[in-house]
Structure 1
Amino acid sequence: LGSSRRKQLREGSVEAPAPALSPAEEPPWASETVQRVQHLLSLRDTEQAGVVTRSDVQKLQEEGLPCSREELELVFDGLDAAGTGRLGTEEFMAGLRQFLSSQKAAREHRRRKTASRRVRLLLPSPALEGAGSEEHRHFTAFMEQLATDNLSEEQEIWQLWVKLRQDEPQLLDNLEAFLAKMRQRIQEARSEKEALEQTLNKRVAEHNKDVQQLCELLEQQIQQQQLRLQQQSTVRSQQHGEELQRVLDASEREVQRLVTAQMELERRCRSLHSSQQVTSTENQQLQESNQALEQHLQHLHQQLQHTQGCLRTVRAT
């Protein structure tokens, strides 16, 4: 695995040659990345100070560095020529700094190359400027037959037209026939598209009509169901009201009966109370009579004792 990555590193350096930047020309993001890697490596255990292993490189990507895991491993494998899996910290940092700078330079070189290519494409072509007015009128008439309204496409077709006129004039007729055939097919496709759109619109209208009818039918059914439920609810309410009225009448009769019974009980209570008062008066009178009789009895008893005493005295004399 290490040898294959070193091979990729060597091939990448051959495919995209870019001189390494000096420390003064080093891009800011590369310097910040190197400083961040140094800080992360310094946070490890003191036993690993000065040494970078493959596991350390794999953990660096978990910290959100702008380099991918493959790029970091590529740098590590390119420096680890002996395949020991261990590098000095300074050696790894120097290789990482050189890799980041070369990657930046390569991207800048590709960007400038792409920009110059775009500029060349935008500049007017001498072949276009040298084309005759008759040729241009013929091309314009042909494009009017094609009925195109895209200026970029027309420019591309014109460039192809001029190139074929210069390099392969015998193919120009084939181009005209091909474009005419394509125009016919496009028109047929448009006609077919319009027919399909009309059919689709018709089916959509029919579908909407069916949906509308279905909605109306469902609405009628819902209204009928609501009316039926309302009638049933009215009947149930009426029956329930009648039942409640019967229960209320029965309750009123029961209350009336209870009131009558209560009045009878009150009358009896009053009668008993009157009887109790009379009885109490009679008892009091009886008690007074008993007391009078007891007093009279005591008086008679005293008289009897006195009489007996007198009799005993008389007998004794």
Structure 2
Amino acid sequence: GVMSGFLPLLWFQKLQEEGFPCSREELELVFDGLDVAGTGRLGTEEFTAGLQQFLGSQKAAREHRRRKTASRRVRLVLPTPALEGGDSEERRHFAAFMEQLGTDNVSEEQEIWQLWVKLRQDEPQLLDNLEDFLAKMRHRIQEAKREKEALELTLNKRVAEHDKDVQQLCEVLEQQIQQEQLRLQQQSMARSHQQGEELQRVLDASEREVQRLVTAQMELERRCHSLHSSQQVTSTENLQLQESNRALQQHLQHLHQQLEQTQGHLRTMRAT
């Protein structure tokens, strides 16, 4: 309850339960901001002044949302000894400054506010320099961001072009490999055809030689038979004829073997 003009935190919580148009967290935030000494209770005058300021900031925030402008924000800055001397215009200026910084940390904001007020009171030119510096830094950050985006775009483009070049190179190499394989295949076929023709010529020559020897053997046998029939041949001549016939038969047999080997090679070449 209310004791000796002081309001405890529990009383604030009961306000929310009784339909007060603020959330429990907002009421606790108001209480903590007003309770500078940390006693856990507030004087009625402190509470009235702080609540009026809070409700005023809430109303301004609602109007701000209705206007849907993103350039400025109305922030709740609770009255502490370090914030004394700052009027509403100064707070709005500070809110715009914090908007540029892009921070939402309440403790950091309060520390910056304290520095802001001190600089405004003691060294106003430094505060102006700080604002100019932050504006330049913000501009440089934006430029760096744009340069980074442009660089990423360029890199992505180069990567895409590199991938395209690699793909084209792979296609060219694949075509060259296929052409080389085809050339080797055709060369092998031509070589096989040439070897086949050479074997065919050898085979034809062997067949002609065999035919010549067969003819010679037949002529020799005919002469032997003719001489033997006329009984005009001597024993020496007969032996010579027999020896010539044996040599001719051996040579003929050798040629037959060569002919069979050549025919075998030719069949193998034609099969492949």
Q: Taking CA–CA contacts closer than 8 Å with sequence separation of 6 or more, which of the two structures ends up with the larger relative contact order?
A: 1
State the TM-score, normalizing by the size of structure 1: 0.32
After TM superposition, the score normalised by the length of structure 2 is 0.36
